[in-house]
Amino acid sequence: MEIGDILLHMVVYAKIASETGLFDIADSLNGICEKLISRHPHIYGDVKVKDEEEVKSNWEKLKLKEGKVSVLSGVPVSLPAMVKAQRIQDKARGVGFDWEHAHQVWDKVQEELEEFKTEADQDSDKMEEEFGDVMFALINYARFKGINPEDALEKTNRKFIRRFQFLETESAKEGKKLGDMSLDEMDVYWEKAKKGIMNYEV
């Protein structure tokens, strides 16, 4: 049903445009077909590609030839920062701007960590910028290792919740309140949770 609603809107917009002489629905369909053909020469032409990465690379280069000002212009500004970082890195990779080996990316992560620590030790105004550089480099390393950083972070969130809820429940059984406990006391329950002495799921 919902796709029907979308189609209705498209037909209405096309009808309005045709009545004002801008374009009609046939123009739109022909245009998208031509774009599909031009951006997939490995399917509709005689271009040979060895893998998916080369297809993506050709795609980005073709868009530049069509008049795109920047490879990154297709990255929506409204995306969440982590997703946007992934998209930016994918787009840059598509035109060959990428590291060759994972160890090079890890070296960059370590470099950014050192720069962040330097600024953090001084409580510098550049701490936030350097922290962003660390995250960007880590997301890039995750890409090289086939890790989805959003999924990885969510798994850690859930793990923390399970362990913390274990701490809350088990300490309450012994008549203790979190606000009255020392960090060392709470850490005893935390270590038990890490060892798997728990049956809680989020």
Q: Where are the domains positioned within the chain? A: 151-194
Structure tokens at 196: 């798997």
Which of 201, 184, 192 has its CA nearest to residue 167?
192
pTM for the model stands at 0.69
Residue at 51: amino acid letter: D
Q: Are 24 and 17 in contact (CB under 8 A)?
A: yes
pLDDT above 60 (res 199): no
Per-residue pLDDT tens digits for 159-194: 999 999 999 999 999 999 988 999 999 999 999 999
φ, ψ of residue 65 to 5 degrees: the values are -65, -25
pLDDT at residue 156, as a whole number: 96
pLDDT, tens digit, for every residue of 56-110?
666 666 665 666 778 888 889 999 999 999 999 998 988 888 999 999 999 999 9
DSSP label at residue 75: S
- Residues 6+ positions from 109 with CB-CB distance below 8 Å: 134, 137, 138, 141
| Beta strand extents in the chain (DSSP E only) | none
Q: Is the pLDDT of residue 32 over 80?
A: no
Q: Which residue has the higher pLDDT, 110 or 7?
A: 110
Q: DSSP secondary-structure letter at 67?
A: T
Q: pLDDT category, 198, cuts 50, 70, 90?
A: low
Q: How far apart are the first and last CA of the chain?
A: 34
Low-confidence winner among 16-20, 27-31, 151-155 (lowest mean pLDDT): 27-31
User: CA 69 to CA 64: how far, in whole Å?
Assistant: 7
Burial class (CB in 10 A: 0-12, 13-18, 19+), 128: exposed
pLDDT band (50, 70, 90) for residue 201:
very low
**pLDDT tens readout for residues 109-147:** 999 999 999 999 999 999 999 999 999 999 999 999 999
Per-residue pLDDT, 45: 65
Residue tagged 């728990």 (tokens): 198
Contacts of 140 (CB under 8 A, 6+ apart): 85, 89, 99, 105, 108
